[in-house]
Amino acid sequence: MAKTQLEFWFEFGSNYSYLSVMRIEELARKADVQIAWRPFLLGPIFRDFGWNTSPFVLQAEKGRYMWKDMERQALKYGLEFRKPSVFPRTAVLPMRVAMLASNQPWIGGFCKAVMRQNFVEDADINDPANVRLALAGLVPEPDEVLAAAQADENKLRLRDQTTEAKNRGVFGAPTFFAGDEMFWGNDRLEDAVAFAASKICISNSSL
C-alpha cells in the first residue's frame, strides 16, 4: 500500500520554512509518512494581497517580534540561527533547483543546505556560486543541474506550482496538506504529520 503523503509547501526566503525544512524529515520518518516537496514562490502570493514584500517587513512590530520568536524557536529545536542581514532574500534560483529536484532523493539535503546558507551563514542564496555549493556532494554535476533548473520548461513548472498554491488557498509558508486538510505554519508541522499518519491507519484498517 502506498504511504499517505504530506505535501510540504515552502519557500527558501521564508524564516518559518527554515524551521520546518530542518525538522520535517525526521518527524515524517518516525510517523512513516512520505513527504511531497512543493516549492513555490511567496512573492506572487503576497502581491495578490497588495503587498510588495513580507508582512514581517510591512508590519514593523510583528517583524521585531518574529526575530525574537525565531531565536527562541531555534533554541527550542536545537537549531543554529542567525538573523539574515537581508530579509526576505530572493530565492528564485535555488527554488528552481528545488522544483527540478522535488522527487530526487537529495531534495531534503539540498533544501537544508540552502536554508543553512540563508538562516545560519547569512549568505546570498540566489548567487549561483552558493547554489553550486549547496549541490556539492549531492549530485555529480552541479552545473548540469543548474542549467536544467534554468530551462524554460522548469521555470514554467515553478510558476504553475505557485498558481496551484494560490488556487488551493495557500497564503503563507510553510503550509502542509494531508489530502485536502491544510495546516499553516511551522507550529502545525507536528499536527500535520499526525493527521497524515492517522489517515494511513484508517486506510490500513479498512483493508
Q: Considering only residues 3, 23, 112, 188, which one is a binding residue for a second copy as defined by CB under 8 A?
A: 188
Judged by CB under 8 A, the stretch of 16-24, 57-65, 110-118, 153-161 that binds a second copy is: 57-65
Rounded distance, CA 86 to CA 13, Å?
10
- Spell out, one character per residue from 124 to 163, where the chain touches a second copy: x when CB under 8 A holds, - when not: ----------------------------------------
Please report, as residue ranges, which positions from 78 to 107 form the binding site for a second copy (by CB under 8 A).
none
Site for a second copy, residues 164 to 183, rule: CB under 8 A? 169-172, 182-183
Neighbours of 196 (CB within 10 A): 26
Q: 44 preceded by cis ω (within 30°)? A: no
Closest to a second copy by CB, 52 vs 103, is 52
State the burial class of residue 152 (Cβ atoms within 10 Å of its Cβ: 0-12, 13-18, 19+): exposed
Q: How far is the CB of 67 from a second copy (least distance, A)?
A: 12
Smallest distance from a second copy to CB 36, Å: 20
Question: Are the C-beta atoms of residues 46 and 56 closer than 8 Å to each other?
Answer: no
Contacting a second copy (CB under 8 A), which of 29, 30, 47, 62? 62
**Cβ neighbours of residue 142 closer than 8 Å, sequence gap 6 or more:** 131, 132, 135, 136
Torsion of CA 145, 189, 3, 195, to 10 degrees: -160
Rg (CA), the chain: 17
Residue closer to a second copy (CB basis): 106 or 171: 171
- Using CB under 8 A as the binding rule, whether residue 76 contacts a second copy is answered as yes
Q: Contact residues for a second copy (CB under 8 A)? A: 49, 59, 61-62, 64-65, 68-69, 72, 76, 169-172, 182-184, 187-188, 191
